[in-house]
Structure 1
């Protein structure tokens, strides 16, 4: 058979966790047509010699926040250069749709999406189809969840408070429409307003809609001081009562009192899955987190930092974030802000620079006109917990990062530039926490199965030709917290739908990515 593209002699990891085997991969159109013994005698319009490399399915990043960044730059450079071929949007309660009627709904959603680091310049869509069209030609694929925050904003005149039964019914209707249009599930962000205002019955009413569609429920759980394990229990309880497939987002222990207690969290998932619950979690391989700084304010201050009673707000901030986790001002670094001179400084350093208390710095940064987009990196985790979560059988890899240009403003968390190579370099090759084939499975077939992507995540005849070739001896992340905007080493080739989108550290002009739809 004559192929459009022949990948010759690669050591193939098929994504299932099976041992590698030397094979040729023939691609016709956007599909793998054959996986055959490497003989060197096949014909193709184009042929690439991969005898020194491992070939794997393209990585599926199950947890991203590229909803806005891909509107601004469709190349997705920081992810494509890692070998990511599919981004899953709509996490942590954020999504670009649905959009409610009228300018107030649009303004609320625009401000909400700004917490991802950058707001859309204009929202000219209402649902998935028009949003997908607005994304334009993409270098990589996207699949999207529906954010609970976006549902509240679309359904409620005031999403920052209790929802009436009519409001919940309206959210359920919007979610049902989005899932019918091809969204892959729903997400909550229960430390982000307005999602955080929802009690358990509201969440479960919407999770039941996802369950009826056979869709995923991904949750950024309701973490409060002293409540990290209760947050796991709440998420598992919702799944148990509704039958929804649960994806627990970026499992971690952020509270110093809980550092080292990974077994207490993992035991909960093990007990739940042993009883028949369909639950798993994703992890990114860093001992620091990142988010909009405003997330760490009390709900009532998040709603209007500039208009909040200042004395009361400062007192509440001083009590700790998430209601009592103690601030260590040298552990929190500003990664993006309207004033570029603040980027890379800790809250303590800014307090010294401004001659104000750190509490005032936090409030003033968030109360600025674009303060909702100020981003911070928090060094509140331990490596031992990261390693335990990452190596657990229920774990898959998700970056919690954005697809962005490598060159750009700010110093974002390095997860946007190095998550997948870091797993393969640090935790496979250097530390031996994972076998190479199993690590690849956690980045390919396992997230595909969680989402329901039937024709991706595996190298087999008939599958979509989303692929990555890398050198297992050199693959590594080069992004650091001080210099994050660096592409990884050792990723030779990224292929989306049978077309080469990146080679040897450079993204080309091809834009074969698709907006994927469930069902």
Structure 2
């Protein structure tokens, strides 16, 4: 006997996430699972939505977020955090993958947990965040009442390294590397989705290739991917990409190149080399894919603009150094001349391309460029940056306008790419990608620019990432699949988030279903929080 339907989406056009042509079908939901019905067949449900003229698709999967701490309860909370939590949902995202760029809330040895907390406070910018010893503790710390979307998490190598050996700029001992491998193995066995690195960020930047190969071999044993923010996405992009491919080949782990870009004036146009290189590697048997966000600006922490040596020892050590004029002189020199192996963002662009996104005690400077702020104060930009980091105890996020449109378009169009926001959900004036990425791909790049067909765009947001990250039963609409769904108007869907209004909700996303429950109706949240932490097995 058929189960009674709780929800029926009637008359819509199904784009099922596989890349197959769209078709007309009614989509039902019962006990959190999907039922497909021939169009027009009589059926009843507790809730019936007439979605004729609209597209029904799998809920979007954001493969690259930094929302690890967004559902961790705080004693006191900035009111804007509630809007940050809803931004992905309102653009149709039902699952996020966190733990990217080497930063996760776990794992660590017990004795390393207290000093790790300060690092995580600065990284995630949502107040005090307690690090967790393993994935199970991380999952338990996510408050169900705050989870609007599902969450999976990678194991961040930077957190793992700090959780074993602190923030020392050195090679790990054999015992330390073994401890890292053991913690990683445990977390992956508990359901973490893979291993990530952020090789421009301390302490990950201190790791050599051999260290990463050893850890990626652990991921490979679990059949999970190695996900990397390359060591350089600017002038040394080719060399950094070769390192990532070497790690994949030697370890046997699938390779996911995070937010693939060629940024800074010395790398503009380099996607003409990097994308064919990835395609050639895949043809040679390397399981390599990438993700991309649809903007020409990135976002990260301000202290990553400084040379690696300045960050050795962690945030406390950095802040102690920044008082010294001799240190500031060395920072100026290294930005001007470069340091081998360091992605020199400012040297590749300039302080005039970097704007403040979040500075908790200086809200009046949010949205303004560093060069302009320094000139206004009558000082050198490095001095301004050092003073700002000191005033904010290291907690400053920036937006870097460093890419070119033709490179972004090539990566979006690549058959190897999927969509991720790289959202950094902090109060202030965050990058609009957190609220706009998926609607922007569908509307601007898909419908308006015709860079992608609708079926291809949806596949890059659903079926492709679900397969890559082992999200069984998600990412495609088929009988028995998890009922995570989005309904949108293909004629009107578009992003409205801007650098001035970064959390403006998109147009044309009319309904979102999470775990079978209607979380967005008529474009507005219903208050349902049905997301949960996903264990990837």
**CA distance 1:477–1:116, shift in 2 (3 Å):** farther
Q: Please give the secondary structure, in 1, of the residue aligned with 2:123.
A: coil
2:197 match: 188
2:366 match: 343
Of 99, 121, 130, the residue aligned with 2:108 is: 99
**Where do residues 95-494 of structure 1 align in structure 2 (5 Å cutoff)?**
95-102=104-111, 105-123=112-130, 125-137=132-144, 138-223=147-232, 226-303=235-312, 304-308=317-321, 309-319=327-337, 322-323=343-344, 325-338=347-360, 339-371=362-394, 373-402=395-424, 409-494=427-512
How many angstroms does 1:362 deviate by? 2.1
How big is each residue's C-alpha offset from its partner over 1:173-228, in whole Å with a ceiling of 9 and x where there is no partner? Answer: 00000001010100000000001100000000000000001011100010176311
How big is each residue's C-alpha offset from its partner over 1:136-190, in whole Å with a ceiling of 9 and x where there is no partner? Answer: 1121100110000111111114444321111111100000000010101000000
Measure the CA separation in 2 of the matches of 1:503 and 1:370: 41
1:42 match: 43
How many angstroms does 1:329 deviate by? 2.3
Measure the CA separation in 2 of the matches of 1:113 and 1:441: 33
1:83 match: 92
Contact 2:442 2:457 (C-alpha < 8 Å) held by counterparts: yes
How big is each residue's C-alpha offset from its partner over 1:482-507, in whole Å with a ceiling of 9 and x where there is no partner? Answer: 22121111100110110011223322
**CA distance 1:432–1:444, shift in 2 (3 Å):** same
Measure the CA separation in 1 of the matches of 2:412 and 2:349: 26
Unaligned runs of 5+ residues in structure 2 are: 74-80, 322-326
2:324 match: none
Measure the CA separation in 2 of the matches of 1:511 and 1:497: 10
Contact 1:113 1:119 (C-alpha < 8 Å) held by counterparts: no
Aligned length: 511
Measure the CA separation in 1 of the matches of 2:131 and 2:343: 35
**CA distance 1:29–1:503, shift in 2 (3 Å):** same
1:24 match: 26
| Mean CA deviation greater in 315-324 or 133-142 | 315-324
| Mean CA deviation greater in 225-234 or 56-65 | 225-234
Q: Please give the secondary structure, in 1, of the residue aligned with 2:371.
A: helix
Q: Please give the secondary structure, in 2, of the residue aligned with 1:204.
A: helix
Measure the CA separation in 2 of the matches of 1:302 and 1:201: 22
| Mean CA deviation greater in 172-181 or 136-145 | 136-145
Contact 1:116 1:291 (C-alpha < 8 Å) held by counterparts: no
**CA distance 1:290–1:124, shift in 2 (3 Å):** closer
Contact 1:23 1:36 (C-alpha < 8 Å) held by counterparts: yes
Contact 1:68 1:120 (C-alpha < 8 Å) held by counterparts: no
How many angstroms does 1:401 deviate by? 0.3
**Where do residues 60-71 of structure 1 align in structure 2 (5 Å cutoff)?**
60-71=61-72
Contact 2:9 2:49 (C-alpha < 8 Å) held by counterparts: yes
How many angstroms does 1:318 deviate by? 4.0
How many angstroms does 1:100 deviate by? 2.5
Q: Please give the secondary structure, in 1, of the residue aligned with 2:348.
A: coil
How big is each residue's C-alpha offset from its partner over 1:63-106, in whole Å with a ceiling of 9 and x where there is no partner? Answer: 1000122325688201000100000010000000113323xx23
Q: Compute the RMSD of aligned alpha carbons.
A: 1.8
Contact 2:108 2:183 (C-alpha < 8 Å) held by counterparts: no
Measure the CA separation in 1 of the matches of 2:533 and 2:158: 22
How many angstroms does 1:302 deviate by? 2.1
How big is each residue's C-alpha offset from its partner over 1:390-436, in whole Å with a ceiling of 9 and x where there is no partner? Answer: 100000001100457xxxx4111110010000000110011000000
Q: Please give the secondary structure, in 2, of the residue aligned with 1:5.
A: strand
**CA distance 1:283–1:115, shift in 2 (3 Å):** farther
Q: Please give the secondary structure, in 1, of the residue aligned with 2:291.
A: strand
| Mean CA deviation greater in 139-148 or 325-334 | 325-334
Measure the CA separation in 2 of the matches of 1:220 and 1:472: 33
Contact 2:234 2:263 (C-alpha < 8 Å) held by counterparts: no
| Mean CA deviation greater in 260-269 or 419-428 | 260-269
Contact 1:249 1:282 (C-alpha < 8 Å) held by counterparts: yes
Normalising by structure 1, we get a TM-score of: 0.95
Measure the CA separation in 1 of the matches of 2:234 and 2:98: 28
Measure the CA separation in 1 of the matches of 2:393 and 2:354: 19
Unaligned runs of 5+ residues in structure 1 are: none
Contact 1:160 1:194 (C-alpha < 8 Å) held by counterparts: yes
